[in-house]
Structure 1
Amino acid sequence: MSTYANGMAPLQDDSDIEEEALVADYKEQVQYEDGLDDEVASMSMAQQPDDIQSRLAQAAQPLDFNAPLEAKFQSYDAYCSLFHFILNSEGPVDLEPPSYYWAWDVIDEFIYQFNSFSSYRARIARQGQTPDEAQMLRENPNTWGCYSVLNVLYSLIQKSQIIEQLGAQKRNEDPAAVAGDYGNKSLYKMLGYFSIIGLLRVHCLLGDFSLALKTMDDIELTKKAQFARVMAAHFTTYYYVGFSYMMMRRYGDAIRMFSHILVYVSRTKNFQKSAQYDSITKKNEQMYALIAICVAFHHTRLDDTIHTALREKYGDQLLKLQRGGPESLPIFEELFRQACPKFISPVPPNFDDPESNVDPIEHHLAIFMDEVKTNMWSPTVKSYLKLYTTMDLKKLAGFLDVKPDELRSWLLVNKQRTKQLRWSDRTLLEGDLVNVSDLDYAMQGDLIHISEAKVGRKLVDWYLRNLSRTYN
Structure 2
Amino acid sequence: MSAFQNGMAPVRAMEDDSDVEEEALVADYREQVQYEGGMDDVDQALLAQQTDDIQAKLAQAAQPLDFQATLETKFQSYDNYCGLFHFILNSESGPVDLEPPSYYWAWDVIDEFIYQFNTFSSYRARIARQGNNEEEAQILRENPNTWGCYSVLNVLYSLIQKSQITEQLAAMRRNEDPMLVAGPYGSKNLYRMLGYFSIIGLLRVHCLLGDFSLALKTLDDIELNKKAMFARVMAAHFTTYYYVGFSYMMMRRYADAIRMFSHILVYVSRTKNFQKNTQYDSISKKNDQMLALIAICVAFQPTRLDDTIHTALREKYGDQLLKLQRGGPESLPVYEELFKLACPKFISPVPPDFDRPEANVDPIDHHLSIFMEEVKTNMWSPTVKSYLRLYTTMDLMTLAGFLDVKPEELRSWLLVNKQRTKQLRWTDNGLLEGDWVNISDLDYAMQGDLIHISEAKMGRKLVDWYLRNLSRTYA
Measured in 2, the distance between the counterparts of 1:358 and 1:215 equals 27
- After TM superposition, list the pairs within 5 Å mapping 1:236-251 onto structure 2: 236-251=239-254
Q: Does 1:390 align with 2:380?
A: no
Q: Which residue of 1 aligns with 2:61?
A: 59
CA contact (8 A) 1:40 1:58 kept: no
The answer to whether the 8 A contact 1:323-1:380 is kept is: yes
1:407-426 to 2 correspondences below 5 Å: 407-426=410-429
Work out whether residues 324 and 377 of structure 1, in 8 Å CA contact, stay in contact via their aligned partners in 2. Answer: yes
Task: Name which of 149, 154, 158 aligns with 2:152.
Answer: 149
Deviation at 1:187, TM superposition (A): 0.3
- 1:74 corresponds in structure 2 to 76
Alignment match of 1:108 (pick from 85, 98, 111): 111
In 1, the alpha carbon distance for the partners of 2:136 and 2:119 equals 15
- Residue type matched to 1:368 in 2? F
Report the equivalent of 1:329.
332
Distance 2:370 2:458 in 1: 34
Query: CA separation in 2, counterparts of 1:278 and 1:81?
Result: 32
Structure 2 spans left out of the alignment, 5+ residues: 1-12, 460-475
Give the letter aligned to residue 194 of structure 2: L
* Counterpart residue type for residue 356 of structure 2: D
Q: Which residues in structure 2 correspond to 1:215-294 (within 5 Å)?
A: 215-273=218-276, 275-294=278-297
Letter in 2 for 1:56: L
Q: Is the 8 A contact 1:167 1:218 kept in 2?
A: yes
Q: Which residue of 2 aligns with 1:466?
A: none
Post-superposition Cα deviations, 1:289-310, rounded to whole Å, max 9, x if no partner, equal 0000000001011001110111
Does the 8 A contact of 2:332 with 2:375 survive in 1? yes
Comparing 161-170 with 382-391, greater Cα deviation is found at 382-391
Assess if the C-alpha contact under 8 Å between 1:33 and 1:275 holds in 2: no
Which amino acid letter does the alignment assign opposite residue 19 of structure 1?
E
- The aligned counterpart of 1:87 is 89
- 1:346 matched residue in structure 2: 349
Match of 2:374 in 1: 371
Give the letter for the 1:58 counterpart.
Q
Cα deviation 1:78-130 (Å, max 9, x = unaligned): 00000000001131111111222110000000000000000000000000111
**What residue in structure 1 maps to residue 323 of structure 2?**
320
Partner of 2:364, secondary structure, is: helix
In the alignment, the residues of structure 2 paired with residue 403 and residue 125 of structure 1 have an alpha-carbon distance, to the nearest angstrom, of 44
Deviation at 1:390, TM superposition (A): 1.3
Distance 2:315 2:14 in 1: 25
- How far apart are 1:156 and its partner, in Å? 0.2
Cα deviation 1:397-444 (Å, max 9, x = unaligned): 111111111111111111111111001122110000011011011112
Q: Is the 8 A contact 2:62 2:105 kept in 1?
A: yes
Secondary structure in structure 2 of the residue aligned to 1:276 = helix
Question: TM-score, normalising length from structure 1?
Answer: 0.91
Give the 3 Å change call, closer, same or farther, for CA 292–74 of structure 1 in structure 2.
same
Deviations 1:172-215 (A, max 9, x none): 00000010110000000000000000000000000000000000
Residues 2-34 of structure 1 deviation map (CA, whole Å, 9 limit, x = unaligned): xxxxxxxx9413321222122221122112211
Q: Which moved more, 1:443-452 or 1:69-78?
A: 443-452
- Structure 2 equivalent of residue 381 of structure 1: 384
TM-score, normalising length: structure 2: 0.91
- Structure 2: how far apart are the matches of 1:274 and 1:161? 37
Query: Does the 8 Å contact 2:400/2:406 carry over to 1?
Result: yes
AA of the residue aligned to 1:276:
Q
Aligned residues: 444
Q: Residue deviations 1:435-463, cap 9 Å, x none?
A: 1011011112111111100379xxxxxxx
Q: 1:207 to 1:86 in 2, by over 3 A?
A: same
Question: Which amino acid in 2 is paired with 1:358?
Answer: V
Q: What is the alpha-carbon distance in structure 2 between the residues aligned to residue 374 and residue 411 of structure 1?
A: 10
Runs of 4+ in structure 1 off by over 6 angstroms are 39-42, 47-50
* 3-state DSSP of counterpart to 1:287: helix
Q: Deviations over 1:111-151 (max 9, x none)?
A: 00000000000000000111111111001000000000000
Q: Which whole-Å deviations, capped at 9, do the CAs of 1:224-278 have from their partners, x for residues lacking one?
A: 0110010000000000000000000000000000001101110111111165333
Residue 38 (structure 1) shift: 4.4
Is contact 2:438-2:458 (8 Å) kept?
no
1:184 aligns with 2:167: no
Query: Distance between the aligned counterparts of 1:372 and 1:126, measured in 2?
Result: 28
Mapped partners of 2:74, 2:357: distance in 1: 22
2:465 matched to which residue of 1?
none
Shift of 1:279: 2.2
Aligned residues: percent identity?
Answer: 85
1:86 maps to a residue whose letter is I
Q: Find the aligned partners of 1:313 and 1:414 in 2 and give their Cα distance.
A: 29
Residue matched to 2:134: 131
Secondary structure at 2:369's aligned position in 1? helix
How far 1:37 moved relative to its partner? Answer: 4.6
The farther-off stretch of 397-406 and 141-150 is 397-406
1:437 aligns with 2:440: yes
Tell me how large the CA RMSD over aligned residues is: 1.8
1:281 offset after TM fit, Å?
A: 1.7
Q: Tell me the amino acid that sits aligned with residue 84 of structure 1.
A: H
Match of 1:405 in 2: 408
Q: Secondary structure at the match of 2:213?
A: helix
